[in-house]
Amino acid sequence: MFAFVVRRIAQAVFVMLVIGLIGFSIKQQIGDPVRDIVGVSVSVAEREALREQLGLNDPFLVQYGRFLKNALHGDLGHSFFFKKPCLDVILAKAPATIELVLVSSLMIVILSIPVGMYAAIYPRRWLSRIIMGMSIVGVSIPVFLTAILLIYLFSIQLNWLPSYGRGETVALWGWNSGFFTLDGLKHLILPSVALSSIMLPLFIRLIRSEMMEVLETEYVKFAWAKGLHRWRIWLLHAFKNTLLPVITVGGVQLGILIAFTILTETVFQWQGMGFMFLEAVERSDTSLLVAYIVFVGALFVVVNTVVDVIYGLVNPTVRITGRS
Amino acid sequence: MKHLLEVKDLEVTFALRFGNLTAINGISFTLNRGERLGLVGESGAGKSVTGFAVINLISKPGYISGGSILFDGQDLTILPYDQMRDIRGNRISMIFQDPMMTLNPVLTIGTQMVETLQAHRNISRKAAERIALDKLRKVQIPSPEKRLKQYPHEFSGGMRQRIVIAIALLSDPALIIADEPTTALDVTIQAEIMELLLELCESEDMGLILITHDLGVVSQVTENIAVMYAGKIVETGPTADIIQDPAHPYTQGLIRALPGSLQAGTRLNQIPGMMPTLTDIPSGCAFHPRCPFRNAVCEQLPPELIQLAGTRRTVACHRVAAEMGRPVSGDLNPFTGTLSGESNG
Amino acid sequence: MKHKWRRFQQSYVWYSFKRDPVAVASFSVLFFLIVIALLAPVIAPYNPYDMSVIDIMDAELPPSWMEEGSRDFIFGTDIQGRDLLSTMLYGMRLSVFIGCGAVLLQAFIGIVIGLISGYAGGKTDAILMRIADVQLSFSTLMVAIVISAIFQVAFGVGQYEQMAVPLLIIIIGVAEWPQYARTVRASVLGEKKKEYVEAARVIGLSPGRIMVGHILPNAISPVLVISTIQVANAVMSEAALSFMGLGMPVTKPSLGSLINSGFEYIFSGSWWITLFPGVLLVVFVLVINLLGDWLRDVMNPKLYKG
């Protein structure tokens, strides 16, 4: 087990280095650090001086090394638009995105497991068929369309829920949270529903198909032959085996979820990292762009590594033999 | 004397999209406490389905469509779910073929054993573990205390099957149904496991239904045999008698096909043709297309199981019936050339 | 050719297709949509790219069956005065084109890499699949977004929009190859053990010949199955990119760009600009998904869902 964890961490570090390299190369090609610092209305001579001072004429690898060192110290560059260090901008916006992702993930997990299990155990009941039918429709509706439809229905027509922004937030040690005010919570509802709308059907289908396969196995049959309670068979024998492939897929889906936050935040004007990213593209704020890529990349790698380790803990074959 | 298990005219049907198929077409047999019965036949004959039918665990879309299964006087086919659950794993245990697939890979042996006990009676985990350890010792697994915390993949195939047998023994059942218990194991391990089963049945006074296609295994362990073909029983009787002197042409073919009875260098004896699939069962006697003794009547009339005079054996074959002087059809007996009513001297 | 058609007609696929109402309905709808999309220049009432025909005074007219609607514009007009129906048809044409183009590209890259990875094995395989796994873990949509963002900043918005169609095909194609690669590699690993590969090697055929000529034809059926779903994904990805402004521009809009441009005006009441392209997009993707599901069930002998 220990060897497994060490190997995964080593791989994670390697991937991070590659991401750093890609980010850095982008910055080299398109970015203009001088402009980031002094803006556009500066003479050519002063720019040249500044370039020399910043070490921008040094060889590639030297600059790459400097980039990595800075990154490890938390310096991801300077945002041309916000006139602040990129990391500060990102960290200010991160809570919004994280809270959104958290609420959506919770919704997905809480809903998909019982629904998926039900559809697997009773596949021919009409409720199961309706669920599967709706899930295929759900997968075909793009997330931004769902968001727009939700806004149209609940904000414009019914006027029950707000249609943009985060509402009132409470600042807790630098973390602006929307969880603690009724207004903040109300603002969270539509965006998180929209965000979960594509992942939910995916997970329901996944859990259902995995569970159906598990229910046909010999060991489940043996469990029936032993005369165990049906709930124990479904929840322990079947579900624990269903969990394993779901965890694997779930880890990958996180990447899709983060990609979708960019779309969702755009529709709801949600001041999170995704919205910031698109604005940075519009403004050609390369440093911020690259900082986002590196930051989100690091987030992915960390989460995927954690998911892998959790999988290793849950799956006894990995835990004991040390390989998957 | 009341039998432990009495199966009468059991019928199992599969409701498929394009029609109903009869997998088991009226079979009957009995088993007493401590008795060991072998249910023999090729794949597809319906033996496994019979085993599942006894504990009412036939995979959908199969279901019991007729007959009765009396266990200690109770008819299992009409028993409500909770009472049936009470019997499974408790009074009747079942062992499956491949122990790697039978044990849940993500649960420890201990969990899988303790839960079997706790599902049927109010017992603490510690007490359940004590019983589990006792059974593990009975199946000759070394250092059982360590085993409880281990997972199935940490054991070899033979050990796993022993664990499965231990699980089957947990509640001291009256009957064990073993469905091809050694087919997935190495030949050397097979003998050990069968020997173990034999000992346990004798020492615990358990009934055993051994479902297998392997006549060698059957002759080692069982006292009686029932031979199945295409969903019907075609011959029954004491094991030794049947192996020595099979009456039904199919059984004869099976015995002759055993390589042990041949001299080195001669060709293996095969029964020509294949067992029919459920959708293609021939008319009359299901075996007739492959039978060297077939006659016109075999194509038309399914034979009944009749008792061979003076023995505890039964056979379903027109030719055998004819040889015993029973009327077959019409006046002239096609097998012996005698008129019905006449005997053959 | 006729011989092959006859063989197909007797095949299980056709039999199962005819008996499944969902499959038949989906296919019919899909066929209809593709035909009208491809024929857009011929059947659309207006040419939405022709600036001379468009009058800003026609902007934001509701569908013809509503109060202020006009019979000239059946589904109403968008914010620039373009007929919505025509723009939708042209937009779907773009989506079909980009979707198929991207899938062809990802299939090509994926098949090549999958064949090499599976056949060569060892370190090559390990490295290639690691790259595929990492790219997949970032989700292909994220990769597409990042690449298009970089391109847009690098080329500048104007030039990006001019090259939008081929760029989008490249972006989505490069983002999604891992799925094909893994599928093909899995098939290759299975086929590699079979005797005909051994035989071909013994004869002395080059690895390239073996991979393409012998293994590939046997590995093709899972590729077909995922291709339908990948087309749906590609169309959705393109719509998402266009919605964010990283795809087709408003001057040459795809369905995604239309939804985007209509979104702002939903608050002022012009709901049709978003709704109709939205419905069209959903129906299009839905029938592809339904067909893909059916295809996968039919080709998978293990699943008897009876």
- What percent of chain C has pLDDT above 70? 93
> Which of A66-70, A315-319, B28-32, B252-256 holds the top average pLDDT?
B28-32
Confidence band of A291 (pLDDT split at 50, 70, 90): confident
| Residue C65 vs residue B189, higher pLDDT | B189
**What is the per-residue pLDDT for B211?**
92
C141·A256 Cβ contact <8 A: yes
Q: Do A142 and C236 touch (CB under 8 A)?
A: yes
Q: Which residues of C touch A152 (CB under 8 A)?
A: 266, 271
Where does residue A290 rank: exposed (0-12), middle (13-18), buried (19+ CB within 10 A)?
buried
Judged by average pLDDT, the poorest of B173-187, B188-202, B248-262, C108-122 is B248-262
Mutate to test the interface with A, among B109, B115, B149, B169 (most CBs of A within 10 A): B115
pLDDT at site A290: 85
pLDDT at residue B338 greater than cutoff 70: no
Contact flag C266-A148 (C-beta cutoff 8 Å): yes
Mean pLDDT, residues A212-234 taken together: 90
- How far apart are the CA of C305 and the nearest CA of chain A, in angstroms? 9
Q: Name the residue facing A15 among C134, C244, C286 (closest C-beta).
A: C134
CA nearest to C100, candidates C238, C277, C293: C238
Instruction: Give the pLDDT confidence of B49-65 residue by residue, as tens digits.
Output: 898 999 988 887 888 98
Q: Report the pLDDT value the prediction gives residue B225, as an integer from 0 to 100.
A: 92
Nearest residue of C to residue A300, measured between CA atoms: C138
Instruction: Identify the residue with better confidence: A77 or A106.
Output: A106
pLDDT at B335 over 90: no
CA B270 to chain centre: 23
On whether any CB of chain C is under 8 Å from the CB of A156, the answer is yes
- For residue C52 the two structure tokens come to 């001379």
Residue B334 · residue B297 · CB < 8 Å = yes
**In angstroms, what separates the C-alpha of A105 from chain B's closest C-alpha?**
26
Residue of higher predicted confidence among A227 and A252:
A227
Kindly state the percentage of chain B with pLDDT values over 90.
19
Instruction: Tell me the average pLDDT of chain C.
Output: 81
Closest-CA residue in chain C for A259? C142
Q: Are C182 and C129 in contact (CB under 8 A)?
A: yes
- Give the start-to-end residue ranges of the domains of chain B: 1-91+212-281, 283-339
**Average pLDDT in the B118-131 region?**
91
pTM across the whole model: 0.79
**pLDDT tens digit sequence for A136-158:** 888 889 888 888 888 888 887 77
Q: Chain A: which residues have CB within 8 Å of chain B? A: 217-229, 232, 236-237, 240-241, 244, 314-317, 320
Mean pLDDT of C254-282: 84
Instruction: Give whole-number Cα distances, C65 to B124, C86, C278, C279, in Å.
Output: 74, 17, 19, 18
pLDDT of residue B260: 65
Whether pLDDT at A70 is above 80: no
Segment among A77-86, A270-279, A291-300, B162-171 with least mean pLDDT: A77-86
* CA distance to A175, B261, C267, per residue, from B221 (Å): 74, 19, 83
Contact assignment for B104 to A223 by CB distance below 8 Å: yes
CB–CB contact A260 C246 (8 Å): no
Chains near C, with 3+ CB pairs < 8 A?
A: A, B
Band (C306; pLDDT cuts 50, 70, 90): very low
Please report the DSSP string for B144-189 in residue order: HHHHTTS-GGGS-HHHHHHHHHHHHHTT--SEEEEESTTTTS-HHH
Query: A317: which residues sit within 8 A by CB, 6+ positions away?
Result: A324, B105, B151, B153
Task: Report the neighbours of B using a cutoff of 3 or more CB pairs below 8 angstroms.
Answer: A, C
**In this complex, is the C-beta atom of A304 within 8 Å of any C-beta atom belonging to chain C?**
yes
Is there a contact between C289 and A300 if contact means CB atoms under 8 Å apart?
Answer: no
Residue with the larger pLDDT of the pair B253 and C3? B253
User: Are the CB atoms for C98 and C176 separated by under 8 Å?
Assistant: no
What is the reported pLDDT for B112? 92
Mean pLDDT of A246-263: 80
Average pLDDT over residues B19-35: 87
Span A162-166, mean pLDDT?
78
Q: pLDDT band for B48, please (50, 70, 90 cuts).
A: confident
Which of B89, B120, B151 faces A225 most closely, judged by CB atoms?
Answer: B89
**CA–CA gap between residue B231 and residue B11 (Å, rounded):** 9
Q: Distance from B49 to chain C by nearest Cα, in Å?
A: 19
Q: C302: pLDDT confidence band, cut at 50, 70 and 90? A: very low
Percentage with pLDDT > 90 across chain C: 8
Q: What pLDDT shows up at residue C304?
A: 37
What is the nearest CA distance from B22 to chain C, expressed in angstroms?
18
Residue B139: which of B193, B189, B86, B183 has the closest Cα?
A: B193
Q: Is the pLDDT of residue A322 over 60?
A: no
Q: Between B76 and A320, name the one with better pLDDT.
A: B76
Q: Selecting from 3.40.50.300, 3.90.700.10, 2.100.10.30, 3.40.190.10, what CATH number does the domain B1-91+212-281 have?
A: 3.40.50.300
B102–chain A Cβ distance below 8 A for any pair: yes
**What per-residue confidence (pLDDT) applies to B264?**
66
Distance from CA of A138 to the nearest CA of C (A): 9
| Residue in the block written with tokens 């479904």 | A234
**Chain B residues whose beta carbon lies within 8 Å of the beta carbon of residue A226:** 88-89, 93, 115-116, 119, 167
**pLDDT at residue A189 greater than cutoff 80:** yes
Looking at residue B22, what is its pLDDT? 86
For B106, the closest of A225, A232, A241 (CB atoms) is: A241
C257 contacts C238 by C-beta, under 8 angstroms: no
Kindly identify which residue of chain C lies nearest to residue B16, measuring between CA atoms: C306
- ipTM of the prediction: 0.84
Burial of C119 (0-12, 13-18, 19+ CB in 10 A): buried
Average pLDDT, chain B: 84
More confident residue, C234 or B333: C234
For B291, phi then psi, to 5°, come to: -95, 130
